Structures are given as structure tokens and as C-alpha cells.
Amino acid sequence: MKDLFSVKGKVILITGASRGIGRFLAEGFRDLGAEVHGTGSKPESVEWMKSAGIVGHAADMRDPLAIGQVIQSVHAKTARIDVLINNAGIAGNTPAGGMKEEEISKIIETNYTGLFRSCQAYYKVQRKSGGNIINFASVLGMIGTPLASVYSGTKGAVISLTKALAIEWVNNGFRVNAICPGLIETDMTSMITDRPAIKEKVQGGIPMGRMGLPIDLMGGVVFLASDSSSYMTGQTIVIDGGMTAQ
Ligand SMILES: NC(=O)c1ccc[n+]([C@@H]2O[C@H](COP(=O)([O-])OP(=O)(O)OC[C@H]3O[C@@H](n4cnc5c(N)ncnc54)[C@H](OP(=O)(O)O)[C@@H]3O)[C@@H](O)[C@H]2O)c1
């Protein structure tokens, strides 16, 4: 039997590959033999990719045109983008009652509207040959927690959007699935990891007793990116150390 989980030679575009989970995935897929393209919000965010064997592109997810232009230009060079991983995202840490208009729109534009535009642009370039989209949602799109209201809303919306696009584009040969990470140690969760007492308390609430690391997500993402998940669409894989099983 061939290697079911092989991603060798696949062209993979990862948004938000400059830091955290996206960076880990970019380096991981490069090591597995994929041709990896990554984005960040600014040119300096993607500067490191040049020397790392990853093709970097600047595209702010809030810009109505930028991600579409990157997708078109990558496709023009490679003739195909086998997998689109919509990972770019931002969180909030503000009480719902005090959230200002600017913060509300920034989170929605980055996590939801930008992700939708990315899916749409990808559909346009791949509509004849089909494609594979992996969207990053969050367990906070499934369960409630304080100080994450708009963020949680965008992540719940990503789970719903994933199902809707999976059905709408199934006859065009597209698969659309989502990953729901639990709490993963990155810049996004530094307000927890920088404070040992808080981290200990948070970890006490996770059945596996620890926060996750980007590597904990890699197997699930490789599964979705590879042909091993070829009969799967519209689904969400939860990788959270048991958080949502309680
Ligand atoms: N960490 C967690 O516990 C956790 C849990 C559940 C879900 N997630 C989700 O996983 C994904 C990655 O999170 P992370 O923890 O790796 O976050 P991170 O370390 O803060 O990295 C975020 C990435 O997104 C990019 N990004 C942010 N705003 C952007 C914008 N407007 N335009 C383009 N790129 C932008 C950043 O690029 P620049 O630096 O260039 O702006 C960076 O590469 C997010 O969707 C997040 O919601 C994370």
C-alpha cells in the first residue's frame, strides 16, 4: 500500500505562517516534502521564510483584495494549490460589555471575513480541478468562556461555514474541513503561559493536565491534507486534550 498520509509534492498555502501554529505547520509540511507557501500580515513577518525553504507572501487578512491576489499569483506560478490552510487569526481578551467597535471589526474581519475571502479566491482558481480547504476554528467556537465573546462567535461561524462550503462545493471536487484546537502554547496564549499561577489553574481544567503544543495538531492536519481523508468533508477535528469531552 502507498503511504496514505503522504503530502510529498503537494502545493500547500498556509495563512498566518509567520508565527505559532502556522509557522510550525509550514516547517512541518516542508520537512514532509510539500511545496509550502506562507502568508503573514506584513513583509517583515514573512522575511524568515526565504531562508527556510518556504515561499513567503505578505497579505493582511483584513484587506479585501490581498489574500485573493496571493492565491492568484501562487496558482499562476504552480498551476495548482492542492491544499489551502486558513490558519491566520487573532484573539481578544476584553469583557464583552466593554468591547469597542474597532476591536470587534478587527477580530471578525481577520477570523471570519478574511477566511471566507480566502476560501472564495481559492475556489475561483481551483474550480475546474477541485481542492482541499482546512479551516482553523477553535474549541471556543464550541464552548463558552469569559473574555472571548467575539472570538468565540467567529470560530463558531468558521465551523458552520466549513459545513456550508463543503456541501455547496462538493460537486466541484472540493473537500472543506476544520481543526478545532484546544489551548495551544503560542503568542496567542501568552497571557496564560507568561503567568505560572494562571497556567497551572488553566492546565488543571484540561483532562490531560497540560496545554497543547503546535506539534499536537500536526497529525490531524496531515490527515486532512493527505489523501487518507479523501472521503471526509464538512467535518471538524477537535484536538484539545479532552477539554470539550467534559
Ligand atoms: N493558540 C491557541 O490556543 C489556539 C486555540 C484554538 C485555535 N487557535 C487558532 O489557531 C490559529 C493560529 O493561532 P496561533 O496560536 O498560532 O496564533 P499566533 O501565534 O498569534 O499567530 C497568528 C498568526 O496569524 C497571523 N495573522 C494575524 N492577524 C493577521 C492578519 N490580519 N492578516 C494576516 N495574518 C494575520 C499572524 O501573522 P503576523 O504576525 O504577520 O500578523 C501569525 O502568523 C488562529 O486561527 C487561532 O484562532 C489557536
Measured from the CA of 86, which atom of ligand 1 is nearest? 45
Nearest to residue 22, comparing CAs of 88, 74, 70, 68?
Answer: 88
Backbone φ and ψ for 182, nearest 5 degrees, come out as -85, -140
Would you tell me the crossing angle of helices 114-126 and 66-78 to the nearest 10 degrees?
Answer: 30
- Within a domain: 2: no
DSSP code at position 112:
I
CATH number at residue 212: 3.40.50.720
pTM greater than the 0.85 cutoff: yes
**Number of domains present in the structure of the chain:** 1
> What's the 92 CA to ligand 1 centre distance in angstroms?
12
DSSP code at position 137:
-
- Within a domain: 43: yes
Q: What is the pLDDT of residues 67-99, one digit of tens each?
A: 999 999 999 999 999 999 999 999 999 999 999
Can you give the pLDDT at residue 35? Answer: 98
Can you give the pLDDT at residue 2? Answer: 85
Q: How far apart are CA 77 and CA 88, in angstroms?
A: 23
| 151 in catalytic set | yes
Pocket residue to mutate for ligand 1, from 37, 41, 145, 161, most atoms within 8 A of Cβ: 41
- Within a domain: 172: yes
Q: What is the pLDDT of residues 28-68, one digit of tens each?
A: 999 999 999 999 999 999 999 999 999 999 999 999 999 99
Which structural domain range is residue 32 located in?
Answer: 11-240
Q: What is the mean pLDDT of residues 162-180?
A: 99
- Within a domain: 182: yes
- Within a domain: 147: yes
Q: What is the pLDDT of residues 183-211, one digit of tens each?
A: 999 999 999 999 999 999 999 999 999 99
Q: What is the pLDDT of residues 100-124, one digit of tens each?
A: 999 999 999 999 999 999 999 999 9
- Within a domain: 18: yes
What are the angstrom distances between the C-alpha of 118 and each of 28, 49, 124, 139? 22, 21, 10, 22
- Within a domain: 207: yes
Nearest to residue 155, comparing CAs of 139, 143, 137?
Answer: 137
227: helix, coil or strand? Answer: helix
Measured from the CA of 19, which atom of ligand 1 is nearest? 43
What are the angstrom distances between the C-alpha of 68 and each of 168, 213, 246? 20, 30, 40
Q: Whose CA is nearest to atom 20 of ligand 1?
A: 188
